[in-house]
Amino acid sequence: MADQDATEVVPLEPLREFGTSVYEACGVPSEDAAFTVEIQLTADLRGVDTHGFQRLGWYAGHLQAGRYNPTPSLEVLKETPVSHVVDGDGGIGQLIVARTMERTIAKAKQTGLALGTLRNSNDWGLAEGFVSFCTTTSVPNIAPFGSRTRISGNNPMAFAAPRGSGPPVVLDMALTPVALGKVMRARAEGREIPEEWGFLDIEGLPTTDPETALSGIIPALGAVAAYKGSGLSMFMNLLAGALPGGYHSKDVNIGKRGQFLLVIDPEIFGDAGEFAEKVDSMVEQIKSADPLPDVGEVFAPGEIEQRAYEERIAAGHVVYPASTLQELRELSSQMGIPLEV
């Protein structure tokens, strides 16, 4: 069992080589393997290490078991000047969503606004560009308000908006009280989770046991705000599942996820530079807010992650919990691929 407080500094380049080799060994073409690794390393660089290489073994397992398609052929099923419906052919979600987002952005450059939907996809991460909104369906783990039956997924969503004098403002969140990866890590490290995270056992009582939390009732946005989260979860299913003609709610499974992408060029409403200045003004007002006595600094959405990214990319390394590095070493041993860290 790994020490829950232990962390290790890991250089980027050996991780790139290892991750790319793992995907290649699972049948993913070299270019796609390298592209996917960069997306996952970006999560680690931003400090969102529950969505980076912590999941490498998970993805490799799905590829080896045939649940993910290593060589998907993206097919446009329906298209207009401002929209497209894409079939992801069961590929790695982070890869096929990024490719679909690139295509959606290209449309937005021509028309000012574009929408993309994707079906038969998998797990994915943060997407940015212009003013953007993205959401995804996910495997059912959320119980509707007042119930104990898992009907919907935690259906993550991301918003991004450009600034005039800094990196984009980014809000990237799921509907679970906290990322489930944090609960999984607590389970792997043999420690309890805070009761204020809002997870419930199957009888609807608060729990601090991660195993019970993962198998119990997961209320969207936590127990207190579950009535709001339940409604949000339904509408994310509507946009990313029902709208593209894909699977939704209880029918979502691996290879059967869907995504909804919206990209807006601020120029269709006015001057893009003026808009970016207004975003700067919003950030400045947030930063100037008087902090509470036990709060050192007030942060805008995505600022903590961006700061971590800048620090880590400059240093050329990421910082992993000991449990994550232990899992990577086990994966290295299982697959016979060296991890030189």
pLDDT at position 126: 44
pLDDT at 1 over 70: no
What is the pLDDT of the chain when averaged over all its residues? 91
pLDDT at 333 over 70: yes
pLDDT digits (tens, 9 = 90+) for 123-161: 654 444 499 999 999 999 888 998 989 999 999 999 999
pLDDT at 3 over 80: no
Percent of the chain with pLDDT over 70: 96
Q: Compute the CA torsion angle 94, 100, 101, 103 (nearest 10 deg).
A: 150
Best-predicted range by mean pLDDT (181-185, 218-222, 278-282): 278-282
SS (H, E, C) the chain: CCCCCCEEEEEHHHHHHHHHHHHHHCCCCHHHHHHHHHHHHHHHHCCCCCCCHHHHHHHHHHHHCCCCECCCCCEEEEEECCEEEEECCCECHHHHHHHHHHHHHHHHHHHCEEEEEEEEECCCCCCCCCEEEEEECCCCCEECCCCCCCCECCCCEEEEECCCCCCCEEEEECCCCCCHHHHHHHHHHCCCCCHHHCCECCCCCECCCHHHHHHCECECCCCCCHHHHHHHHHHHHHHHHHCCCCCCHHHCCCCCEEEEEEEECHHHCCCHHHHHHHHHHHHHHHHCCCCCCCCCCCCCCCHHHHHHHHHHHHHCEEEEEHHHHHHHHHHHHHHCCCCCC
pLDDT at position 127: 41
pLDDT at 2 over 60: no
More confident residue, 219 or 122: 219
pLDDT at position 122: 67
Q: Band of the pLDDT at 239, cuts 50, 70, 90?
A: very high
Best-predicted range by mean pLDDT (32-36, 197-201, 203-207, 321-325): 32-36
Distance CA 103, CA 324 (A): 34
Cα distances from 21 to residues 210, 331, 335, 337, in angstroms, run 32, 12, 10, 7
**The CATH number, out of the four listed (2.40.110.10, 3.90.79.10, 3.30.1370.60, 3.40.640.10), of the domain defined by the range 73-176+218-305:** 3.30.1370.60
What is the amino acid identity at position 300? A
Long-range own/partner contacts, residues 222-230 (CB < 8 A, 24 or more apart): 222/177, 222/197, 222/198, 223/198, 224/198, 226/145, 227/145, 229/142, 229/145, 229/175, 230/142, 230/144, 230/145, 230/152
User: Of the ranges 182-191, 204-213, 305-314, which one carries the lowest mean pLDDT score?
Assistant: 182-191
pLDDT at position 5: 59
